């Protein structure tokens, strides 16, 4: 039986978790992680739900796309992924979830009071995850991203303790040194439980799936590892990653390290073929990957003595660089065509729409579904930052009305519930746009000459000050209606931006017309 099969090993684990939950910023992180895990774990969840959860955080969205492209560049003909919607379609729910979880954890830790002193440890935790992913490739695991997140989270309890219970973790370290005892024994004396058990309790609190709970559970030391099931192979891979990290941190002489690496290869021989030389090379390559990804986290690998030593860097960590220009210069110096090629300016709507158009073109060539295409269009609109809400209403089967299907933005679920346009008449602005296939921009919905053209459901339940309607018409019949609004004032769209929006709409219309039947 593994740790993941058992409840937390003592009442103290639950008390410690309760103490953690009461901290100022941990609940917000937990709420987002729980929501993402619920979406991914549900059989009825749609791609737009996961996309919507991620798009709520602009920083998370931008960093996720950069990290996805850095990790998966070259798999799609060298063309980048520019929308979360397309990332979900191409990479799958689980991969996008895993990247999002790692980024959320790092964003959270970097904003914490102890972050400056502990950035090195956070980077080493990420290093463990990257080692796990690379081992997953060698072991030919079916989902290497599960190996990444399992290895990343295998030290979750220790990392969160360092950030939230720093002084107590110092007492653990002091006990280990003074009495020459192991970390588990010292942690039990100080906390009443182990770091591993706290990590599993946090993972359960975050509702991580059972496969990841098993993956992040520690195996007994010493004995040869038997791994006959997929779950056991994942667990063994994450544990090997942890042991490799510990070995690298020990800073052994080359001959001692070589012997230790060979011994680890034998211990995990049933999981995969891991010669000592291969493991040594893997540690170096994983460190290079962390160095690359640290730019996305806006972190300095020099903060970690282990990574400095592995990468043969000299000197102490550099002062934190300020400003996007410095980050871009660092990327250029590190020869990262991946990031330079795909990253649109987050503050430039035209740049974001152009990137979205590239995604849309690739999706059309790849025969993506109409639903996926429309998701990409709406996401591209929303990420410009010009709108409070973006939605689409699609024609019902009876052909009598257009009904809200999906969208992004403020109170979007409530807005979608009331978004219904009758096709039986052409009185209000929505009906006219659909019936006459005309784009309509309403600058002030409360203007005297406009109020009569605003339907009651919009005035009462949405109440946007300004909105834009872009219809999609097939065979002279309204197929769908795109809606984009602003609550605070009139929409002031640059002609270039509006032109790109219409190009995206027309590409979506092309996808609809190409569908059989």
The rounded distance, in Å, linking the Cα atoms of 184 and 71 is 34
Residues 68-99: tens digit of each pLDDT: 887 654 455 557 888 999 888 888 888 888 88
- Number of compact structural domains in the chain: 2
Q: Domain check: are 247 and 395 in the same one?
A: no
Q: Do 44 and 61 fall within a single domain? A: yes
Read off φ and ψ for residue 406, nearest 5 degrees: -155, 165
Reported as a single tens digit per residue, the pLDDT across 378-431 is 999 999 999 999 999 999 999 999 999 999 999 999 999 999 999 998 899 999
Q: What is the pLDDT of residue 327?
A: 35
Strand 477-486 to 440-442 pairing = unpaired
- Label residue 319 by pLDDT band (50, 70, 90): very low
Same domain, 301 and 373: no
Residue 183 pLDDT > 50? yes
Which DSSP string corresponds to 384-408? Answer: TS--SEEEEEEE-TTSSEEEEEEEE
pLDDT tens readout for residues 443-465: 999 999 999 999 999 999 999 99
CA–CA distance, 32 with 324 (Å, rounded to integer) = 26
CA distances from residue 110 to 116, 120, 122, 270, 306 in whole angstroms, order as listed: 7, 11, 9, 38, 19
In this structure, the answer to whether residues 412 and 494 fall within a common structural domain is yes
Are both 393 and 326 inside the same structural domain?
Answer: no
Cα distances (Å, whole numbers) of residue 217 to 152, 196, 205, 279, 293: 12, 7, 15, 22, 26
Residue 273 has a CB neighbour count (10 Å cut-off) of 11
CA-to-CA distance for 416 and 424, rounded, in angstroms?
20
Looking at the fold, whether 236 and 294 belong to one and the same domain comes out as yes
Which domain CATH number covers 308?
1.10.3210.10
DSSP helix/strand/coil, 347: coil
Helix, strand, coil proportions of the chain in percent (round to 5)?
A: 60, 10, 30
Q: How far apart are CA 29 and CA 10, in angstroms?
A: 25
* Structural domain boundaries, residue 168: 3-342
Domain stops at, among 312, 342, 372: 342
The domain that holds 394 is classified in CATH as 3.30.450.40
**In the listed set 325, 342, 359, which residue is the last one of a domain according to the structure?**
342
Examine the domain organization and report whether 362 and 247 are in the same domain: no
List the beta strands (DSSP E) in 337-465.
389-395, 401-409, 420-422, 440-442
* SS3 label, residue 3: helix
Q: Are residues 330 and 374 in the same domain?
A: no
Last residue of a domain, one of 297, 322, 342: 342
Q: What percent of the chain has pLDDT over 90?
A: 62
Chain mean position to CA 107:
11
Q: Are 351 and 500 in contact (CB under 8 A)?
A: no
The HSE-up count of residue 517 (CA atoms within 13 Å, CB side) is 1
The whole-number pLDDT of residue 69 equals 82
Asked if 216 and 154 count as a contact pair (C-beta separation under 8 A), the reply is yes
Which residues partner with 485 through β-bridges? 389, 467
- The verdict on 227 and 119 lying in the same domain is yes
> Are both 503 and 385 inside the same structural domain?
yes
Residue 517 has pLDDT above 80, yes or no: no
Are 322 and 380 contained in the same domain?
A: no
Which residues, 6+ apart, have CB-to-CB distance to 39 below 8 Å? 45, 49, 50, 53, 93
Same domain, 395 and 281: no
Q: Using pLDDT thresholds of 50, 70 and 90, give the confidence band for residue 326.
A: very low
């Amino acid at each position: 039986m593994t740790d993941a099969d058992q409840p937390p090993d003592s009442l103290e684990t639950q008390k410690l978790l309760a103490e953690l939950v009461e901290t100022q910023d941990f609940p917000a992180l937990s709420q987002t992680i729980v929501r993402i895990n619920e979406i991914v774990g549900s059989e009825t969840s749609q791609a737009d739900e996961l996309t919507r959860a991620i798009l709520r955080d602009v920083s998370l969205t931008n960093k996720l796309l950069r990290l996805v492209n850095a990790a998966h560049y070259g798999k799609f003909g060298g063309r980048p992924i520019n929308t979360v919607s397309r990332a979900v379609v191409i990479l799958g729910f689980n991969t996008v979830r895993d990247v999002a979880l790692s980024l959320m954890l790092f964003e959270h830790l970097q904003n914490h009071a102890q972050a400056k002193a502990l950035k090195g440890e956070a980077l080493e935790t990420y290093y463990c995850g990257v080692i796990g992913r690379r081992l997953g490739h060698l072991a030919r695991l079916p989902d290497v991203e599960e190996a990444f997140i399992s290895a990343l989270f295998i030290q979750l309890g220790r990392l969160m303790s360092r950030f939230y219970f720093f002084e107590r973790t110092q007492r653990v370290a002091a006990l280990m040194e003074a009495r020459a005892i192991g970390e588990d024994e010292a942690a039990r004396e100080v906390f009443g439980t182990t770091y591993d058990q706290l990590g599993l309790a946090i993972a359960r609190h975050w509702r991580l799936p059972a496969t990841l709970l098993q993956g992040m559970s520690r195996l007994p030391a010493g004995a040869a590892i038997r791994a006959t099931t997929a779950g056991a192979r994942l667990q063994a891979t994450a544990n090997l990653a942890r042991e490799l990290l510990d070995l690298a941190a020990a800073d052994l002489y080359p001959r001692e390290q070589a012997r230790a690496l060979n011994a680890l290869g034998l211990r995990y021989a049933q999981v995969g073929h891991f010669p000592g030389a291969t493991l040594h090379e893997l540690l170096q390559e994983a460190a290079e990957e962390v160095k690359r990804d640290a730019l996305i986290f806006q972190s300095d690998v020099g903060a970690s003595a282990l990574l400095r030593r592995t990468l043969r860097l000299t000197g102490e960590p550099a002062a934190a660089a300020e400003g996007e220009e410095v980050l871009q210069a660092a990327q250029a110096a590190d020869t990262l065509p991946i990031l330079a090629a795909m990253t649109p300016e987050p503050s430039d709507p035209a740049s974001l729409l152009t990137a979205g158009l590239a995604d849309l073109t690739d999706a059309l060539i790849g025969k993506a579904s109409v639903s996926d295409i429309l998701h990409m269009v709406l996401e591209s609109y929303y990420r410009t930052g010009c709108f409070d809400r973006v939605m689409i209403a699609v024609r019902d089967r009876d052909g009598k009305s257009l009904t809200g299907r999906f969208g992004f933005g403020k109170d979007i679920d409530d807005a979608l519930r009331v978004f219904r346009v009758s096709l039986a008449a052409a009185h209000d602005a929505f009906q006219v746009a659909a019936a006459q296939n005309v784009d309509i921009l309403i600058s002030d919905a409360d203007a005297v000459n406009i109020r009569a053209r605003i339907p009651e459901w919009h005035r009462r339940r949405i109440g946007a000050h300004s909105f834009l309607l872009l219809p999609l018409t097939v065979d002279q019949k309204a197929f769908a209606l795109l809606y984009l609004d602003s609550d605070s004032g009139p929409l002031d769209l640059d002609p270039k931006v509006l032109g790109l929006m219409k190009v995206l709409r027309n590409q979506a219309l092309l996808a609809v017309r190409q569908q059989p039947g």
